[in-house]
Structure 1
Amino acid sequence: MKLSEIRKSASQFVQDKLSKKSWFLRAAGALAGGTAIAQIITLLALPIVTRIYTPKEFGVLAIFISILTSFSAISCMRFEIAIPVPEKDGDAANLMALALVICLAISLISGVILLLAQNHILNFLGNQDIAKYLWLIPVSIAILGFYSALQFWSVRKKRYGAIVRTRFKQSFGGSATQILLGWLGWGGAGLILGYLVNSAAGILGFGRQIFREDKDSLKKIRLKKMREIGGKYIKYPKYSVLEVLATNSAVQLPIIIMAASVSSTEVGFVLLASRVIAAPVGLIGGAISQVYLSSAPKNFREGKLVEFTLYVINQIIKIGAGPLCFLGMISPMVFPLVFGNDWRRAGMLLAWMTPWFLLQMIATAIAMALHVTDNQKAALGANIAGFVIRAGGVGAAAVVVPSIASEVYAVSGFLFYSLYLATILVKLDINFISLVKAVHKNCKPLILWISVAILIDVLLWSAS
């Protein structure tokens, strides 16, 4: 090969790499930018919301979310997460239709179960305040399931603008509803209905766009094809249903345990801390994870998934680690000023949760790697272990030392995501040295963020 040809090939390779990275950053940036606006709206509303509602009312919302989240994640039997995977849009459309039909069925079944076992459920929860809202659970399951399936289709089609608009509608609609209903004196009902508005916003927008732009794909939906495609992707419900049940139960069951053994007020503090720290995690990790999901199948087929995954981890550390650590370090001093003195405890809990959410931001962004590479069994095993660590740890703390149950909840979250991230890296054959080499150059911004946080804490402490 001539020298000029080698130069041309090398130049083309570099351009291709830069083009791919530029596309990735543009796509992630678009999602992150739109999500940032949505998160800012939510965060600006929170100081108002926390002065309208009490920590105990936040606790009722936390219990409602815990019940709902535990079941809504399996409302489509996990077929929805497979929607971006098929090469043909027709196959993906049949997967989407299958997910929606299953969602309706599970919503109806959950309604029957709640109707027949309401008293037993309330006794288990140890909280009678939630009784008047249980009937909303089946409706909410259908809402969340439909939204998830339609969003995964939009991810497949790389419609990031539609996703951004949806997030704006969710944050504005949910926050406005909670403030209005709280001002009218609706109490816990205002928080719950605002949460549902937040969850439902965007379904009609997604639906209209799909019917308008994807008619050819929708025409290929057939009952027989739905059964065939369901059999082809049976690994998703076979392994991922138990996986996500273990994952969500590991997060939500401790909330229920704390509500029953400690107080609704304590889980109200946990909920506020989680909402605030989830803002940067959702902003950065959520945006990158959706771009990763839309590109991981193609990179896997081309043998580039390891390289792509390391690049994604590198970007998360570069963009997200510093702001998250900064937030965790200043929260104990800042929370009473922003949300009121009643919420000081929530600021302390956010500091405890920071290591957990840092690892969660990385692990969830690349979690689909296990599904793309057919390592659903590994994902299931890690999540079952996580359930034991988290629910077992909080359960033991609630019995022995209830006063530290929330801190144990935070530490157990860190342990679980350490395990889950290690599982992903092992299955992709990424060793620790390769990981360190990929991210070590991005430690300088992290040190700067930490230094600024220390300075702010010192100034606030001196002024108090």
Structure 2
Amino acid sequence: MNVSSYFKNIIHRFNQSEFYQNIASLFTGMFISRMVPFVFALAIARLYAPEEFGYFALYLTIASALSIVSTGKYEKAIILVDEAHERKQIISFAQRINSAVNLAALVVVVAIILLIKSEDDQKLNLLLVPFYSYFFSSIQLIRNLYISKKQFRQLSILEIGRAILTGVLQCAFFVFPASGLFLGAVAAQMITFFGFSLKINEASLFRFGKFKPEEKVLAKRYIKFPKFSILSEVMNFISSQLPIFLFKPFFGDKMLGLYSFSHRYISTPVQLLSVSISSVYIQNAKSLNENPDTLANSTFSLFRKQVILGIIPFTILGFWGEQIFSLIFGAEWAFSGYLAQLISPWLFFVMLGSPLSAILIVKEKQHVSMWYNILMLIARATSLLIGGLILKDVVSTIVLYSFTGLVFFAFLTIYSLFLAGVNLKHAILYLLKMMLLIVPFAVIKIWLLK
């Protein structure tokens, strides 16, 4: 079969598959929502200094960490239930936890602000942390409700609206340099939540009081989510955000800002694909869980398409990231592009493994995910400490950190394929064959260096 026939066959199968049409529908909306930050980045890179972007990354990291525990991870259980009344009870239970956790966090934050001395802008950023956590977690409940009901168009609209609001408000608040980025993000989350919660019967603004008996029954049924998933995601989050906390003491605010800018905007397409694919794949895997052969074939087909979709863009980024960033964002951000080159192999395997890992939820392997993330945190922390304390070089540190991520996400990809029943030999051989496409780009790179 020649190349033309091969791609025509792929397009034909795509047009005949509801599964891939759902991915395409969600991908289109998610693509637009993820392109919006790129557009606004052109303005943000000129309105804010790297140091101010570093402050934003720090407080966003703290707020995102708090949001991991805000709902007890019960938002994932929404996807696994089919009955409307059960979804409503899970959402109600999760919102009660969300309200209580972030109210307690707000009390702690106010106490900290009263006790410590800091700049007013930093006090505002700290005060905003529980609000971002609450509204972000609430939106996650709405997102998973849409996924459970296969309302991917509504999910796309939500993501596009939130992205546009975030960009507009972050640009509008540039008059508050130290807090404008985070203030814009919080305001966007709040407006998005209120706008969409009014359209959903299952969503509520605030939940207090005692848990209902039927809510307790469902909470016990899905106890693995708070039991394993909270710790698992905390470990995963910390390991992925370790550079945010360690770059400042090791390499200073500017390097923190340059890395944060690089990771944020290069990981955006990865997040786009991961969210689009995993949101549809988890529904498909749940329905095919009792049909192993069909699940295996569907998963292997998805894996092949992921490889085709990612191999060329990440190869180009890996060879010419510095030039691309310099051209798009300006010479000031050229080093961010160089860092993007270093992390591109890792992010390629994130693109492969992250969506497929949804099979761990379907197979209820939360304990495996927990231990995986614990080990990855240890390995990543070790790589950053070696880079910062021994090598004392930012490039070497990023190389070590990226390589560690590559190894772990390659394993996650293989394990997910194994759980889905895919023939691992066929999958690995296919990946190696497709990686031959890198050779022509390597030749061009070497030729240009002469």
Output the TM-score relative to the length of structure 2: 0.86
Q: 1:121 to 1:79 in 2, by over 3 A?
A: farther
- Superposition pairs for residues 392-403 of structure 1, below 5 Å? 392-403=382-393
Q: Does the CA contact (< 8 Å) of 1:352 and 1:410 recur in 2?
A: yes
Aligned amino acid, residue 137 of structure 1? V
From 44, 47, 50, give the equivalent of 2:42: 47
- SS of 1:210's equivalent in the other structure is coil
From 325, 343, 363, give the equivalent of 1:335: 325
Report the alpha carbon displacement of residue 271 of structure 1 after superposing the two structures with TM: 1.4
Inter-partner Cα distance in structure 1 for 2:346 and 2:114: 35
Higher mean Cα deviation, 130-139 or 100-109?
130-139
Report the alpha carbon displacement of residue 102 of structure 1 after superposing the two structures with TM: 1.0
Q: 1:200 to 1:295 in 2, by over 3 A?
A: farther
Q: Deviations over 1:101-141 (max 9, x none)?
A: 11111112222333445699999xxx997444111111111
Matched, 1:195 2:190: no
Inter-partner Cα distance in structure 2 for 1:454 and 1:168: 39
- Superposition pairs for residues 17-416 of structure 1, below 5 Å? 22-116=17-111, 130-182=122-174, 185-200=175-190, 202-211=192-201, 223-303=212-292, 304-404=294-394, 405-416=397-408
Aligned amino acid, residue 349 of structure 1? L
Higher mean Cα deviation, 153-162 or 423-432?
423-432
Percent of pairs with identical residues: 22
Inter-partner Cα distance in structure 1 for 2:66 and 2:203: 30
Q: 1:177 to 1:457 in 2, by over 3 A?
A: farther
Report the alpha carbon displacement of residue 200 of structure 1 after superposing the two structures with TM: 4.1
Q: Does the CA contact (< 8 Å) of 2:414 and 2:424 recur in 1?
A: no
Report the alpha carbon displacement of residue 315 of structure 1 after superposing the two structures with TM: 2.0
Report the alpha carbon displacement of residue 453 of structure 1 after superposing the two structures with TM: 8.8
Report the alpha carbon displacement of residue 167 of structure 1 after superposing the two structures with TM: 1.7
Inter-partner Cα distance in structure 1 for 2:300 and 2:259: 32
Inter-partner Cα distance in structure 2 for 1:119 and 1:257: 27
Inter-partner Cα distance in structure 1 for 2:311 and 2:50: 29
Q: Does the CA contact (< 8 Å) of 1:76 and 1:103 recur in 2?
A: yes
Report the alpha carbon displacement of residue 174 of structure 1 after superposing the two structures with TM: 1.2
Inter-partner Cα distance in structure 2 for 1:214 and 1:335: 41
Q: Does the CA contact (< 8 Å) of 2:26 and 2:155 recur in 1?
A: yes
Q: Deviations over 1:176-206 (max 9, x none)?
A: 1222222xx3213111122224444532343
Q: Does the CA contact (< 8 Å) of 1:110 and 1:138 recur in 2?
A: yes
Q: Does the CA contact (< 8 Å) of 1:311 and 1:438 recur in 2?
A: no
Q: Does the CA contact (< 8 Å) of 1:78 and 1:236 recur in 2?
A: yes
Q: Does the CA contact (< 8 Å) of 2:53 and 2:257 recur in 1?
A: yes
Q: Does the CA contact (< 8 Å) of 2:343 and 2:398 recur in 1?
A: no
Q: Deviations over 1:334-362 (max 9, x none)?
A: 21222122212101111111111111111
Aligned amino acid, residue 300 of structure 1? N
Report the alpha carbon displacement of residue 91 of structure 1 after superposing the two structures with TM: 1.6
Q: Does the CA contact (< 8 Å) of 1:66 and 1:256 recur in 2?
A: no
Q: 1:38 to 1:229 in 2, by over 3 A?
A: same
Number of residue-to-residue matches in the alignment? 430
- SS of 1:209's equivalent in the other structure is coil
Q: Does the CA contact (< 8 Å) of 1:66 and 1:253 recur in 2?
A: no
Q: 1:260 to 1:21 in 2, by over 3 A?
A: farther
Q: Does the CA contact (< 8 Å) of 1:72 and 1:145 recur in 2?
A: yes
Higher mean Cα deviation, 249-258 or 379-388?
249-258
- SS of 1:135's equivalent in the other structure is helix
Q: 1:424 to 1:148 in 2, by over 3 A?
A: same
Higher mean Cα deviation, 301-310 or 280-289?
301-310
Q: Which residue of 2 aligns with 1:423?
A: 415
Q: Which residue of 2 aligns with 1:11?
A: none
Q: Does the CA contact (< 8 Å) of 2:236 and 2:377 recur in 1?
A: yes
Aligned amino acid, residue 177 of structure 1? L
Aligned amino acid, residue 356 of structure 2? I
Structure 1 residues not aligned, in runs of 5+: 1-16, 216-221
Q: Deviations over 1:259-306 (max 9, x none)?
A: 233212111111111122123212322211111122221111333433
Report the alpha carbon displacement of residue 145 of structure 1 after superposing the two structures with TM: 0.7
Higher mean Cα deviation, 173-182 or 25-34?
173-182
- SS of 2:71's equivalent in the other structure is coil
Q: 1:441 to 1:25 in 2, by over 3 A?
A: farther
Q: 1:301 to 1:202 in 2, by over 3 A?
A: farther
Q: 1:239 to 1:68 in 2, by over 3 A?
A: same
CA RMSD of aligned residues (A): 3.0
Aligned amino acid, residue 27 of structure 1? N
Inter-partner Cα distance in structure 2 for 1:258 and 1:357: 20
Higher mean Cα deviation, 350-359 or 257-266?
257-266
Aligned amino acid, residue 367 of structure 1? S
- SS of 1:187's equivalent in the other structure is coil
Q: Deviations over 1:49-80 (max 9, x none)?
A: 11111111111111112212222122111110
Q: Does the CA contact (< 8 Å) of 1:70 and 1:252 recur in 2?
A: no
Q: 1:155 to 1:243 in 2, by over 3 A?
A: same
- SS of 1:158's equivalent in the other structure is coil
